[in-house]
Structure 1
Amino acid sequence: MSTAPPPRTTRLMRRLAAAVAAFAVPAAGLVALAGPAQAAASATATYTKVSDWGSGFEGRWTVKNTGTTTLTGWTVEWDFPSGTRVNSAWDAAVTNSADHWTAKNVGWNGTLAPGASVTFGFNGSGSGAPAGCKLNGAPCDGGPSEPGDNPPSAPGTPTAGTVTETSAALSWAAATDDKGVKDYDVYRGSAKIATVTGTSYTDTGLTKGTAYTYSVTARDTAGQTGPSSGTLTVTTPGGTTPPDPGEKVKLGYFTNWGVYGRNYHVKNLVTSGTAAKITHINYAFGNVQGGRCTIGDAYADYDKAYSADQSVDGKADTWDQPLRGNFNQLRKLKAQYPHIKVLWSFGGWTWSGGFGQAAANPAAFAQSCYDLVEDPRWADVFDGIDLDWEYPNACGLTCDTSGPTAFTNMMKAMKAKFGPNNLVTAAITADASDGGKIDAADYAGAAQYTDFYNVMTYDFFGAWAAKGPTAPHSPLTSYAGIPQAGFNSADAIAKLKAKGVPGSKLNLGIGFYGRGWTGVTQAAPGGTATGPAQGTYEQGIEDYKVLKSTCPATGTVAGTAYAKCGSNWWSYDTPATIAGKMAWAKQQGLKGAFYWEFSGDTANGELASAVHSGLQ
């Protein structure tokens, strides 16, 4: 017997007293009180050191039946290092052969129903921990180290924060472990580059214009390493980006409500010369309601009758024809310009509130959209679908809490349903701020199911901040005094690339309108204001075709134009600034460009022409 422990709890002293008789003879001579244990792989044994008083310690084992049949006996075996031993035990018959220890159930606790557990304990001396644990001849839990200690889980797949030409900031969701996670190993490719205790790391010394792949593993307090996380590929900016092979996308949005007050019709694409200079049209918008794709405006979409002078082909609609409205006009446009692909876009700022419910059953949502887009009345009009969710797992007009994988699941279901012969695209956020909307959803994961993304690189700033500061709503780059870091096109594209979205799936967004303030005295950006400037259809916003003459550009900043006229201050793109943006898009290897929306252009389509010429 070892030296008696110092005074402890009454419970422990009762156990010590009960165990003295069992250890009156040498431990090697103890006789088991139960017969052979039943072999059962579906059981675990977990060890815990309950307390340590210096000259001794109390250990406890828990045996649990994790199977589906009753366990009718158990034997736990383990090894102690030399100098560590059991001195007294309770609720099990414990014997040893040198440093190998064996504990068998006693008569009353050997039968365990599925899910049941039993504990036994002992007082020991020495500083070692048990190793090589077996339960009924099998590993106690399959773990390679401390018996009863599971290895940690895989950490979350790393995500990228700020990525520069020479560094990449990484973060990941914590792993879990039954005894606690000690640290994480960070890998670049197959090489371990760091061991950290937290869930973030910044890799430095990188080369610009280079792709790097990262993963993370966790280590627990027993030194066990768990499975690897998923991988993240980031590309540092800079260097030479190879151009995207193939024809560049030149896409414009056509709004169904434009046929009303704006008096803008499909025929205007022909008379302006724009139809010959585009590759795609997004028809906006269909609605998302009750987990389904639904019609947005039935009258404008397929019922409005067109006279001969309004119609693309100069032929008037008749009262009894099966399809009228914009859909029929688009059919006529495609007959004259067969290179144009038309996609039906669903959602948008106002109608994105339904995506959360739709994402709860992505297969059913995809089926409803397919049934609507492929309706026999207009199936030949559309070449695919565009999803304009503002914004997955983030806030727009309403806030979504579907989680970071919801967007990926939705795009996967869409591509599976629409198949390889239809386009599946999406309009996505350009918020590249740390922890912003790009970080909220897995756009890289969804990209594999998406033909291309339309990155909404506009509306970064506007008169919803009624007092200013004045700022361009579509800056290509950052600039000194920009109100919000990460709110510019270059940062958005760089962040999406860093997360693993290829440039060949990204279109740069252009606004065919301006945003403005009134009550402004300062000509340069950054001035104060008293509110939004007056617009034709809405305060704080005006078409380019109007601003071109009423408030001509007086300067440029961050690759876009601004204008000060009277007390009004506006920012918008011109043919010259669009030319600069298109040159940048080509240098970045982007898929192309898109714009919102056709009716803001001049009657001769000068902005659409600038996009077309700039991408040649």
Structure 2
Amino acid sequence: MRSGTARRFKRRLTAFAVALALPVGLLVTLASPAQADEKASATFIKTSDWGTGFGGQWTVENTGTTTIDTWKLEWDFPAGTTVASHWNASIAKDGNHYTATPSSWNKSLAPGKSTTIGFNGSGPGEPSNCKINGLPCDGSGEPGDPAPSAPGALKTGEVTDTSIALSWSPATDDKGVSKYHVFRNGTEVAAVTGTSFKDTGLLKGTEYAYSVTAEDTAGQRGPASGTLKAKTTGGSTQPPGEHVKLGYFTEWGVYDRNYHVKNMVTSGSADKITHINYAFGNVQGGKCTIGDSYAAIDKAYTADQSVDGVADTWDQPLRGNFNQLLKLKKANPNIKVLWSFGGWTWSGGFGQAMQNPAAFAESCYNLVNDPRWQGLFDGIDLDWEYPNACGLTCDTSGPAVMKTMMQAFRSKFGDQLVTAAITADASDGGKIDKADYAGGAQYADWYNVMTYDFFGAWAAQGPTAPHSPLNSYDGIPQQGFNSDDAIQKLKAKGISADKLLLGIGFYGRGWTGVTQKEPGGTATGPAPGKYEQGIEDYKTIKPRCASNGTIAGTAYAHCGNQWWSYDTPSTVQSKMAYAKQQGLGGAFFWEFSGDTANGELVSAINSGLG
């Protein structure tokens, strides 16, 4: 989401060098004495599971007394189970056999050190026939000394808003079990000597995946228990079966774009959405402030322009977009409206404002609930691009600032909606890793994950790439820059799926000087656009440069010497199917004026989510 008198879009995400990774499922211990004192183990767990696919993680550890210069991990998957996107290692596939080799930075492991590799997979299968450095996955001890068995019967005990109690049946080992390692969403959270553990400090209303491995007195770790899913109490956001269908309405759209609140009615879109984010309010001087007061509260509408066919008068106390939105809500009482603050251009004031979170939240509450537009806003959306990271400007507030902000706003806004637009940069060490989005999620009704603008003509010479890929593909310019990787990373950090909305862009991004139809071609610069080079509304691109291909769940078009990528009703439908499959809270889009006069993209979101 962007602010300004013309549409502002997220500039390119900072590129990070990202290698590749591996699977998820069981914990399997692997031994590899390349030398007499060189030993390694590897454990495999599922970090998430959504029925038709899963997220997985291997942990490779040097359990010997000398440095391991490199390692190679091998395993088989049954037919129908495959590896998709991966990171921190390279993965090669030969039939159903997989081989993982390290990146340059994690191939050398000193004694006691470990590294993790992860991937997203499809299918229900588990790995088998594991080897590390050519030896069977039977533990790191001497030949004939087997690793412990898997713990059994993992189950939950007491579950509260912030804790989950676990217990399991003991593992067996010829030399005895010394400890158990407990994993939450693929990350070890405890090592205990008994067969129970209480996990605390969790987010309410959030699902977690647990598994447990045993370690014997020789230091060998056995395979993992089965994965157990458990959800903390509280924190429900949407009634069962309902999805958020949210669109951004831009304050400045009433000028050159000539898009007004009534257009949501004439296009049929008002009947197919649940929420509107009004963009944008500003953040300056430590406070929330109104953006363009003329467009918001003063612009007079004639009868033919007005939602209800009644013209504004010169002396009425409230006119402009706010009055039109109040009329829209009266005709469509199911619609909720939030005031969104920040955006690409106006995010620079968040850092200063967060020096006093309580005062910042109070200023926003007073503005959102100003008596002059009483009944208009149902809450607030915070669009900070980006906390503790760089957007148009750079912030150095520290990772805790996201949690602190959301907590302060929840405390002030009470049962009103509190949401935030957040980054979709899932690269290793990228923007998702820069702030405590999981900590903030417990105070949010949902997050709008900005799963667009991954690639564009700011890279003037290309390579051409879809700006909103649903998943990774061979040749993608940057690993971690796709919707699925972002969703999986946020879920792995402990954010409940129903608090995540998938983002759809109602526009395309394009290059000129392109001769290659398929993605990956070279270019000479950005394609021309009405408001900004390299970007154009869907309603304009559709007739001018029709789609002639799809990749990674989105469309692309090559016409003349131009190359564009954008979503169509068909690709939007497929993305909505993904959102439902993942259990997401719904979807949102940027923004209304990019759609056709009959609202065909909004219709695709509505029918796709049901």
TM-score by structure 1 length?
0.65
1:360 maps to what in 2? 355
Distance 1:294 1:198 in 2: 51
| 2:211 is the counterpart of 1:321 | no
**Aligned ranges 1:87-166 → 2 under 5 Å:** 165-166=55-56
Distance 1:261 1:170 in 2: 57
Distance 1:448 1:229 in 2: 14
1:287 maps to what in 2? 282
For residue 538 of structure 1, the aligned residue among 515, 532, 536 is 532
- 1:239 to partner: Cα distance: 12
Distance 2:531 2:485 in 1: 31
| 2:325 is the counterpart of 1:435 | no
2:390 maps to what in 1? 395
SS at match of 2:278: strand
Q: Which residue identity does 1:547 align to in structure 2?
A: I
Distance 1:590 1:579 in 2: 15
For residue 415 of structure 1, the aligned residue among 410, 414, 417 is 410
- 1:170 to partner: Cα distance: 11
2:476 maps to what in 1? 482
| Equivalent pair of 2:362/2:412 in contact (CA under 8 Å) | yes
Cα RMSD (Å) of the superposition?
A: 3.2
CA separation of 1:309 and 1:369: change in aligned 2, threshold 3 A: same
Distance 2:471 2:581 in 1: 14
- 1:245 to partner: Cα distance: 2.2
For residue 495 of structure 2, the aligned residue among 489, 495, 501 is 501
CA separation of 1:229 and 1:336: change in aligned 2, threshold 3 A: closer
1:584 maps to what in 2? 578
Distance 1:577 1:351 in 2: 31
1:267 maps to what in 2? 262
SS at match of 1:299: helix
SS at match of 2:546: coil
Distance 2:118 2:542 in 1: 47
| 2:290 is the counterpart of 1:304 | no
1:9 maps to what in 2? none
CA separation of 1:289 and 1:544: change in aligned 2, threshold 3 A: same
Distance 2:58 2:328 in 1: 47
| Equivalent pair of 1:217/1:229 in contact (CA under 8 Å) | no
SS at match of 2:390: coil
For residue 338 of structure 1, the aligned residue among 329, 333, 338 is 333
- 1:247 to partner: Cα distance: 1.1
- 1:340 to partner: Cα distance: 0.2
- 1:376 to partner: Cα distance: 0.2
Q: Which residue identity does 1:423 align to in structure 2?
A: L
1:519 maps to what in 2? 513
| Equivalent pair of 1:211/1:235 in contact (CA under 8 Å) | yes
| Equivalent pair of 2:389/2:395 in contact (CA under 8 Å) | yes
- Cα deviations by residue, 1:50-71 (Å, 9 ceiling, x for unpaired): xxxxxxxxxxxxxxxxxxxxxx
Q: Which residue identity does 2:499 align to in structure 1?
A: K
SS at match of 2:350: helix
| Equivalent pair of 1:511/1:595 in contact (CA under 8 Å) | yes
- Cα deviations by residue, 1:407-448 (Å, 9 ceiling, x for unpaired): 11001000000001x100000000000000000011111000
- Cα deviations by residue, 1:333-358 (Å, 9 ceiling, x for unpaired): 00000000000000000000011111
| Equivalent pair of 2:55/2:488 in contact (CA under 8 Å) | no
1:375 maps to what in 2? 370
Q: Which residue identity does 2:458 align to in structure 1?
A: W
Distance 1:508 1:414 in 2: 23
CA separation of 1:560 and 1:418: change in aligned 2, threshold 3 A: same
| Equivalent pair of 1:461/1:473 in contact (CA under 8 Å) | yes
Distance 1:411 1:425 in 2: 8
Distance 2:229 2:509 in 1: 34
SS at match of 2:245: strand
Distance 1:560 1:241 in 2: 34
Q: Which one has the largest radius of gyration?
A: 1
1:117 maps to what in 2? none
- 1:360 to partner: Cα distance: 1.4
- 1:166 to partner: Cα distance: 3.2
SS at match of 2:349: helix
CA separation of 1:196 and 1:591: change in aligned 2, threshold 3 A: farther
| Equivalent pair of 1:426/1:450 in contact (CA under 8 Å) | yes
Distance 1:488 1:241 in 2: 28
Distance 2:60 2:556 in 1: 37
2:592 maps to what in 1? 598
| Equivalent pair of 1:554/1:563 in contact (CA under 8 Å) | yes
| Equivalent pair of 1:215/1:229 in contact (CA under 8 Å) | no
Q: Which residue identity does 2:399 align to in structure 1?
A: P
1:27 maps to what in 2? none
CA separation of 1:169 and 1:308: change in aligned 2, threshold 3 A: farther
- 1:167 to partner: Cα distance: 1.3
- 1:290 to partner: Cα distance: 1.1
- 1:230 to partner: Cα distance: 6.7
Distance 1:241 1:432 in 2: 25
Distance 1:284 1:235 in 2: 37
In structure 2, stretches of 5+ residues that fail to align are 1-46, 62-109, 127-182, 192-198, 211-226, 232-237
Number of residue pairs aligned between Structure 1 and Structure 2 = 423
Q: Which residue identity does 1:513 align to in structure 2?
A: Y
1:277 maps to what in 2? 272
Q: Which residue identity does 1:166 align to in structure 2?
A: G
- 1 or 2 for the larger relative contact order (CA 8 Å, sep ≥6)? 2
SS at match of 1:509: strand
CA separation of 1:215 and 1:600: change in aligned 2, threshold 3 A: same
Distance 1:208 1:423 in 2: 40
Distance 1:200 1:234 in 2: 22
In structure 1, stretches of 5+ residues that fail to align are 1-159, 172-194, 219-227
| Equivalent pair of 1:214/1:231 in contact (CA under 8 Å) | no
2:446 maps to what in 1? 452
2:164 maps to what in 1? none
Q: Which residue identity does 1:611 align to in structure 2?
A: I
Identity fraction in percent: 71
Distance 1:203 1:386 in 2: 33
| Equivalent pair of 1:241/1:589 in contact (CA under 8 Å) | no
For residue 470 of structure 1, the aligned residue among 464, 474, 478 is 464
| Equivalent pair of 2:248/2:277 in contact (CA under 8 Å) | yes
Distance 1:312 1:199 in 2: 62
2:143 maps to what in 1? none
Distance 2:242 2:603 in 1: 16
CA separation of 1:446 and 1:240: change in aligned 2, threshold 3 A: closer
- 1:212 to partner: Cα distance: 3.6
